């Protein structure tokens, strides 16, 4: 490569903003009194302008309206609202039943206990109090004073337990019927309906 | 991507420090476009030359105040347009047409210029375009690819090297050889002056 070619190559890089400072100085020195180089630079600017004018611009294409109308005309995937109703009913039932199990009744309310070894026991709803023991095994502490655990109290507790069980079964059946009726798949409805005695059996009773 | 203003930056900085050689290269680069702009206001070729020259002189004197907030060509374009308008006001004449600053900004961003010259210049420009197109098509593939990525896609040398999978020095050499080949063809068919406009 001749010196002139090197000068031109440096000018070419300068055109593209890729010239280093030292090279830029050399280019300016070489072009200063060289009309042929100045003419080369000038012609290259025009050629560059012609080439750059051929850059493809954006097509101006706008497909947004067609996309929007196409999407609007197609059925949209939507979650069936009956599903969320069934789920909400299940959660509500669980909360109601769970809450009732934890609620203290008047007879079964835990009373503050005093350990027979002098330690205090803090009552916790739904938890089995444990008395501290000096041997390896914890000793459960009764939540009832001995005098309150008579026959009458046991009968009352059993009655409440029956009432709670009946209520649980009734609510469960109601929920199953409601969920089956609201379910989008009919066969599930049939399956749920089988959990109750058939109609003719009920009539025979 | 290297825009026209980024490519001008080094020359502008040197010209701001008083390097007339750097400013000379900027004049050579933009005189065609600026004179075409001025000719949209003024029809007389002699007056176009005077006003174009005046615009560059004003630009050089004001260069110290150029902060680079806009592209150099946009800034130069404003000076030239004002110079042409002021010239006509001083002569008590009306412009042939008006030019918008969007033209200059479009050039800086896309390399497009709507500046039109005389019918002869347009005819010469059309001929030049076809010669350049033909020269481009005749280039070896490796040279054409490098020059296309630079001029049409505006990629930097680093990016071109990555695209083509070759060293940056090779990219630089290929782009130069492509330009030289096109110039040779243009000189054969049109002539080798300092400009074709």
Nearest beta carbon to residue B173 from set A9, A21, A39: A9
The DSSP line for A94-153 is HHHHHHHHHSPPTTT----EE-TTS-EE---TTS--EE--SSSS-EE--SS-GGG-SHHH
Q: Are A41 and B193 in contact (CB under 8 A)?
A: no
Structure tokens that stand for A7 in this block: 């000068």
Secondary structure in 3-state letters for B144-180: HHHHHHHHCCCCCHHHHHHHHCCCHHHHHHHHHHHHH
Q: Are A10 and A23 in contact (CB under 8 A)?
A: yes
Q: Are B183 and A44 in contact (CB under 8 A)?
A: yes
pLDDT of amino acid B168: 96
User: Taking Cα atoms as reference points, which of B37, B30, B34 lies closest to residue B8?
Assistant: B30
| Alpha-carbon distances, residue B32 vs A49, B12, B35 (angstroms) | 11, 18, 5
Model confidence over B50-66: pLDDT tens digits? Answer: 999 999 999 999 999 99
A98 pLDDT exceeds 50?
A: yes
**From the candidates B25, B181, B191, which should be mutated to test the interface with A, based on the most A CB atoms within 10 A?**
B25
| Strand segments (E) across chain A | 113-114, 120-121, 130-131, 139-140
B193 pLDDT exceeds 90?
A: no
pLDDT of amino acid A75: 67
User: Taking Cα atoms as reference points, which of B95, B93, B23 lies closest to residue B58?
Assistant: B23
Structure tokens that stand for A130 in this block: 């444990």
Model confidence over B142-153: pLDDT tens digits? Answer: 999 999 999 988
> Which residues on neighbouring strands pair with residue A130, listed in sequence order?
A140
Chain A positions touching B111 (Cβ under 8 A) are: 48-49, 51-53, 55
Model confidence over A11-23: pLDDT tens digits? Answer: 999 999 999 889 9
Q: Are A28 and A41 in contact (CB under 8 A)?
A: no
CA-to-CA distance for A123 and A114, rounded, in angstroms? 10
**From the candidates A25, A38, A54, A57, which should be mutated to test the interface with B, based on the most B CB atoms within 10 A?**
A54
């Amino acid at each position: 490569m001749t010196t002139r070619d090197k000068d031109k190559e440096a000018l070419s890089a300068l055109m593209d903003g890729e010239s280093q400072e030292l090279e830029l100085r050399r280019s300016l020195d070489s072009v200063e009194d060289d009309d042929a180089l100045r003419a080369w630079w000038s012609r290259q600017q025009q050629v560059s302008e012609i080439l750059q004018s051929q850059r493809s611009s954006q097509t101006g294409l706008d497909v947004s309206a067609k996309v929007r109308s196409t999407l609007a005309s197609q059925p949209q995937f939507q979650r069936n609202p009956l599903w969320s109703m069934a789920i909400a009913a299940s959660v509500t039932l669980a909360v109601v039943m769970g809450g009732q199990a934890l609620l203290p009744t008047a007879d079964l309310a835990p009373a503050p206990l005093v350990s027979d070894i002098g330690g205090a026991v803090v009552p916790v709803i739904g938890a089995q109090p444990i008395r501290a023991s000096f041997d390896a095994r914890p000793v459960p502490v009764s939540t009832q004073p001995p005098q309150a655990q008579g026959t009458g109290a046991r009968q009352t507790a059993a009655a409440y337990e029956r009432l709670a069980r009946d209520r649980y079964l009734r609510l469960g059946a109601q929920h199953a019927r409601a969920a089956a009726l609201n379910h989008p798949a009919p066969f599930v409805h049939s399956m749920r309906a089988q959990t109750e005695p058939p109609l003719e059996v009920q009539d025979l009773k | 991507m290297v825009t026209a203003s980024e490519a001008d930056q080094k020359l502008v900085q040197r010209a701001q420090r008083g390097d007339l050689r750097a400013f000379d290269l900027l004049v050579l680069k933009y005189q065609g476009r600026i004179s075409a702009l001025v000719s949209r206001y003024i029809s007389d070729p002699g007056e176009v030359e005077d006003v174009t020259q005046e615009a560059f002189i004003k630009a050089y004197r004001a260069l110290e105040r150029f902060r680079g907030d806009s592209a150099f060509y946009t800034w130069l374009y404003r000076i030239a347009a004002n110079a042409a308008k002021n010239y006509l006001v001083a002569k008590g004449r009306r412009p042939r047409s008006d030019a918008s600053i969007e033209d200059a900004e479009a050039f800086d961003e896309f390399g497009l210029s709507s500046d039109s010259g005389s019918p002869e210049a347009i005819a010469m420009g059309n001929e030049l375009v076809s010669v350049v197109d033909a020269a481009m098509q005749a280039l070896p593939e490796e040279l054409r690819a490098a020059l296309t990525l630079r001029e049409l896609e505006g990629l930097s040398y680093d990016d071109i090297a990555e695209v083509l999978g070759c060293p940056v020095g090779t990219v630089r050499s290929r782009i130069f050889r492509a330009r030289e080949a096109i110039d040779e063809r243009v000189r054969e068919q049109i002539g080798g002056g300092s400009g074709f406009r």
